[in-house]
Amino acid sequence: MIEYELRESENTLYVVMEKGDIDLATFLKTRRSEIDSTFVKYHWNEMLRCVKIIHDRKIVHSDLKPANFLLVKGRLKLIDFGIAAGIPSDMTAAVKESQMGTLSYMAPEVLQGEGCDGKYKV
Protein backbone atom coordinates (compact mmCIF):
# COMPACT_ATOMS: atom_id res chain seq x y z
CA MET A 1 0.00 0.00 0.00
CA ILE A 2 2.71 2.51 0.88
CA GLU A 3 4.62 2.96 -2.36
CA TYR A 4 4.93 6.65 -3.04
CA GLU A 5 7.17 9.65 -3.51
CA LEU A 6 6.63 13.02 -1.87
CA ARG A 7 7.27 16.28 -3.71
CA GLU A 8 6.82 19.78 -2.39
CA SER A 9 6.55 23.22 -3.94
CA GLU A 10 5.96 26.46 -2.02
CA ASN A 11 2.89 25.48 0.06
CA THR A 12 1.72 22.39 -1.80
CA LEU A 13 2.63 18.79 -1.00
CA TYR A 14 2.33 16.24 -3.82
CA VAL A 15 2.09 12.49 -3.31
CA VAL A 16 3.12 10.59 -6.44
CA MET A 17 1.91 6.98 -6.56
CA GLU A 18 2.05 4.23 -9.14
CA LYS A 19 -0.67 4.12 -11.78
CA GLY A 20 -3.49 1.73 -11.02
CA ASP A 21 -5.50 -0.46 -13.34
CA ILE A 22 -9.02 0.55 -12.24
CA ASP A 23 -10.77 1.70 -9.07
CA LEU A 24 -12.76 -0.90 -7.15
CA ALA A 25 -16.14 0.81 -7.72
CA THR A 26 -15.71 0.86 -11.51
CA PHE A 27 -14.40 -2.70 -11.48
CA LEU A 28 -17.47 -3.91 -9.56
CA LYS A 29 -19.90 -1.96 -11.80
CA THR A 30 -18.41 -3.30 -15.04
CA ARG A 31 -17.95 -6.90 -13.89
CA ARG A 32 -20.20 -9.20 -15.90
CA SER A 33 -19.92 -12.32 -13.77
CA GLU A 34 -21.14 -12.96 -10.25
CA ILE A 35 -18.80 -12.02 -7.40
CA ASP A 36 -17.90 -15.05 -5.32
CA SER A 37 -17.15 -15.14 -1.58
CA THR A 38 -13.41 -15.71 -2.18
CA PHE A 39 -13.21 -12.43 -4.12
CA VAL A 40 -15.14 -10.56 -1.42
CA LYS A 41 -13.04 -11.98 1.45
CA TYR A 42 -9.74 -11.25 -0.30
CA HIS A 43 -10.62 -7.66 -1.20
CA TRP A 44 -12.23 -6.95 2.18
CA ASN A 45 -8.96 -8.07 3.81
CA GLU A 46 -7.05 -5.82 1.40
CA MET A 47 -9.24 -2.86 2.38
CA LEU A 48 -8.69 -3.54 6.08
CA ARG A 49 -4.93 -3.89 5.48
CA CYS A 50 -4.82 -0.47 3.79
CA VAL A 51 -6.79 1.20 6.58
CA LYS A 52 -4.67 -0.44 9.28
CA ILE A 53 -1.48 0.82 7.64
CA ILE A 54 -2.62 4.44 7.65
CA HIS A 55 -4.15 4.20 11.14
CA ASP A 56 -0.87 2.78 12.45
CA ARG A 57 0.73 5.95 11.06
CA LYS A 58 -1.93 8.09 12.79
CA ILE A 59 -3.73 9.13 9.60
CA VAL A 60 -7.53 9.19 9.28
CA HIS A 61 -8.69 8.97 5.64
CA SER A 62 -12.25 10.34 6.12
CA ASP A 63 -13.65 9.15 2.76
CA LEU A 64 -13.44 5.36 2.59
CA LYS A 65 -15.44 4.03 -0.36
CA PRO A 66 -14.84 1.59 -3.24
CA ALA A 67 -13.91 4.42 -5.65
CA ASN A 68 -10.98 5.33 -3.38
CA PHE A 69 -9.42 1.88 -3.61
CA LEU A 70 -7.34 1.34 -6.72
CA LEU A 71 -6.61 -2.13 -8.11
CA VAL A 72 -2.90 -2.42 -8.90
CA LYS A 73 -1.69 -5.83 -10.06
CA GLY A 74 -4.42 -7.60 -8.07
CA ARG A 75 -3.83 -5.66 -4.82
CA LEU A 76 -5.78 -2.72 -3.47
CA LYS A 77 -4.19 0.67 -2.85
CA LEU A 78 -5.97 3.40 -0.90
CA ILE A 79 -6.05 6.73 -2.75
CA ASP A 80 -7.50 10.27 -2.44
CA PHE A 81 -6.18 11.64 0.82
CA GLY A 82 -7.62 15.10 0.04
CA ILE A 83 -9.58 15.35 3.31
CA ALA A 84 -7.40 13.04 5.39
CA ALA A 85 -6.26 14.21 8.80
CA GLY A 86 -3.29 13.42 10.96
CA ILE A 87 -3.67 12.53 14.62
CA PRO A 88 -1.24 14.43 16.86
CA SER A 89 1.29 12.11 18.51
CA ASP A 90 -0.05 12.89 22.00
CA MET A 91 -3.60 11.83 21.05
CA THR A 92 -5.22 8.49 20.22
CA ALA A 93 -8.09 9.71 18.01
CA ALA A 94 -9.08 12.52 15.70
CA VAL A 95 -12.32 14.38 16.28
CA LYS A 96 -13.76 16.24 13.30
CA GLU A 97 -16.05 19.17 13.89
CA SER A 98 -17.79 18.94 10.52
CA GLN A 99 -19.02 16.17 8.25
CA MET A 100 -16.57 15.23 5.54
CA GLY A 101 -16.66 12.49 2.96
CA THR A 102 -19.20 10.96 0.61
CA LEU A 103 -22.76 10.96 2.00
CA SER A 104 -23.58 7.45 0.73
CA TYR A 105 -20.67 6.03 2.72
CA MET A 106 -21.00 8.00 5.96
CA ALA A 107 -21.90 6.30 9.21
CA PRO A 108 -25.52 6.94 10.30
CA GLU A 109 -24.20 8.50 13.53
CA VAL A 110 -22.38 11.15 11.49
CA LEU A 111 -25.42 11.90 9.32
CA GLN A 112 -27.56 12.31 12.46
CA GLY A 113 -25.11 14.88 13.81
CA GLU A 114 -23.87 12.75 16.70
CA GLY A 115 -20.28 13.72 15.98
CA CYS A 116 -17.24 12.04 14.50
CA ASP A 117 -15.33 10.15 17.15
CA GLY A 118 -14.00 7.31 14.99
CA LYS A 119 -16.06 4.53 16.62
CA TYR A 120 -18.59 3.60 13.96
CA LYS A 121 -20.41 0.39 13.26
CA VAL A 122 -19.43 -1.39 10.05
Dihedral-angle region of residue 12 (phi above 0 means left; psi in -120 to 50 means alpha; beta otherwise): beta
- Catalytic, 56? Answer no
d(Cα 74, Cα 83) in Å, to the nearest integer? 26
Element (H, E) at 76: strand 75-78
Query: Per the residue annotation, which of 21, 63, 80, 117 is the catalytic one?
Result: 63
Q: Which residues are catalytic?
A: 63
